[in-house]
Amino acid sequence: MTVHSHSIPVSAQRDMLQIAIVGRGFSGMMMAIALLKTVTRPFQLRLFDPHPTVSGGQALASTHSSEILNSRVRDLSVSGEPADFTDWLTENLAFRQAVPAAIPGFGQIFVQKAIFSDYVYQRFSEALAERRDVTVQMLNEIIVGVRRTADHRFLVGIGDGSELRCDVVFLATGYGAKEPLPDIVRDRSPIAAGHRLGGSRHVVVLGNGLRAVDRVLQLRDSGFTGEITILSRRGFLPQAHTRLSADPVFPAQAMPKHLPAIMRFVRQVCAQAEADGKGWQAAMNGLRKRARSLWSALPQKEKRQFNRHLRAIYDSHRNRLPADMHARLERELAGGMTQMKRGRAMKRTQDGVLVRWRGQDVDGLLLADEVIDCRCLSPDLADPLIAGMLEAGLAIKDELELGLAVKGSGEVLTPKGGPGGLFAIGPLGLGSLPDIDLVPEIVTQAYTAAALVATSGLGNRPSPTGRRLADTAGAFPEVFA
């Protein structure tokens, strides 16, 4: 499916910079926007994803239109202008009528995924409409491999057996393309009140993030009055956003270098923010701005300790629930019909789910009429695409093996340095870059990567006339108008 192609002659298309984006989740779509707005020379862009709809991936796709994002509007701009999403909402009459907040207050509110999704796709369409010198194709294909060619380009292996020659490849595969745990039902369809559920039935929700909480509250909204168990390995549910502005605060002084001292320091800063009436959330927002340098300076052993013992706590403080939702969750837990239990789901059985309870070494059966999987996933390094690249020396794992080792721009590191032209955008870089699974960080990374493509001469090669493509960039719009 070609989304956009002004009548550019085929011979000229061949000489254009060839770019592939693998994955059309938020990271892939964001990368496309950044390229369209930043790379001024003509290019051919292909976005691959086996899922036929441009769904927005994990963050935006939702069968429940009511699901709320856990970031404030002010933090979700995709244009490079911080107020862009707020401005978009302000111009959206239907939204303004539905939401009571005063216009300046829009930056502080939380909106449904569906609204953010509309905004992202509108900005993508607008960026595309501005470019008469670019072609974009959406291909419903899985990418199975990437190879380096002798002329420093890439051959992208497509699921149908064909290969595509590219100058630049962006991996935006997020949490992978595979179906998670086939024997556990994934959270896909809304459960209506009457569907297998009645007053005395029991639903188990796996996970402890925003999606799990959302699902619990939706079950109640849809009239479910039975028992709910939230099953999570560590048992930390998201904390609440403050109703205050939570603008980042953090002391400028040098931070301690080791984990225990860092933890003490962060606790003190949070306590101070509370004492100053700003809320600990403002300190956590400030900490996020220092997280990248802190993480890279931490010894490997302490990174592992953080991952094992502290990541779940950090996540529950950075991925926060809007205050109203959090209050509802607390009431729900206090009411007794919803409880949180700590354990790992091992296998779905006919009667429920087999659980390794925390602190025990045998599995027990948790009876359930419905098991809904709302766990956060991790990037899948065993995916044939990623595994093949690792084997071919096109990429290396980060030191904790959470994902690929990348620079801030997403450039993938290899045993020999950076190959140039190969990027991993978003969660694939989570082991190198803390918080790169969040919208603001993905936006910044996408623009940084696009700027590199725009300025580095990637893909510049002699054209048939002997001139390099970048030199002719200004001429293309007239030629192809």
Binding site for ligand FAD (CB under 6 A): 22-28, 48-51, 57-59, 69-71, 142-143, 172-177, 210-211, 385, 426-427, 437-439
**Least distance from C-beta 468 to ligand FAD, angstroms?**
31
The token pair at 356 is 């390794």
Q: Which is nearer to ligand FAD, 124 or 480 (CB)?
A: 124
- Residue 138 vs 283, nearer CB to ligand FAD: 138
- Of 221, 223, 228, residue with least CA distance to 370: 228
Residue 71 — φ and ψ, nearest 5°?
-105, 150
State the Cα–Cα distance between residues 453 and 390, nearest whole angstrom: 23
Q: How many other C-beta atoms can be found within 10 angstroms of the C-beta atom of residue 39?
A: 24
The smaller minimum CB distance to ligand FAD, of residues 292 and 461, is found at: 292
Shortest spacing between CB 365 and ligand FAD, in angstroms: 28
Residue 138 or 259: the one with the smaller Cβ distance to ligand FAD is 138
What string of DSSP letters covers 225-240? -SEEEEEESS-PPP-B
Per-residue tokens: 290 = 């220092």
310 phi, psi to nearest 5 deg = -115, -20
Nearer Cβ to ligand FAD, position 50 or 223?
Answer: 50
Report DSSP letters for 49-113, one per residue: -SSSS--BHHHH--S-TTPBPSS-GGG--SSSSTTHHHHHHHH-HHHHHH--S-GGGGGG---BH
Reduced to 3 DSSP states, what percent helix, strand and coil does the chain have, rounded to the nearest 5?
40, 20, 40
Under 8 Å between Cβ of 363 and 354 = yes
Q: What does the alpha-carbon distance between residue 481 and residue 477 come to, in Å, rounded to a whole number?
A: 6
Task: Please tell me the distance from the alpha carbon of residue 347 to that of residue 181, in angstroms, as a whole number.
Answer: 8
Tokens of 176: 């992978």
Residue with Cβ nearer ligand FAD (56 or 459):
56
Neighbours of 179 (CB within 10 A): 7
Using the minimum distance from each CB to ligand FAD, give the nearer residue, 262 or 428: 428
Backbone angles phi, psi at 479, to 5 degrees: -60, -40
Min separation Cβ 299 and ligand FAD, Å = 27
Tell the smallest beta-carbon distance from residue 466 to ligand FAD (Å): 36
Q: How far is the CB of 423 from ligand FAD (least distance, A)?
A: 12
Question: Tell me, what amino acid is at 469?
Answer: L
**Shortest Å distance, C-beta 76 to ligand FAD:** 7
Within 266-350, strands assigned E span 338-348
Specify the residue, 176 or 421, whose C-beta has the smaller distance to ligand FAD.
176
For the record, the structure tokens of 57 come out as: 């991936």
Residue 357 is inside which H or E element, if any?
strand 352-357
Tell me how far apart the alpha carbons of residues 479 and 477 are, in angstroms, rounded to a whole number.
Answer: 6
Residue (of 406, 393, 423) closest to 296 by Cα position = 406
Q: Decide whether 41 or 407 has the Cβ nearer to ligand FAD.
A: 407
Closest alpha carbon to 214 in 65, 339, 73, 366: 65
Q: Which is nearer to ligand FAD, 283 or 385 (CB)?
A: 385
Q: Residue of minimal CB distance from ligand FAD? A: 174
In angstroms, give the least distance from the CB of 136 to ligand FAD: 16
| CB closer to ligand FAD out of 340 and 439 | 439
Sign of the four-CA dihedral 414, 417, 420, 426: positive
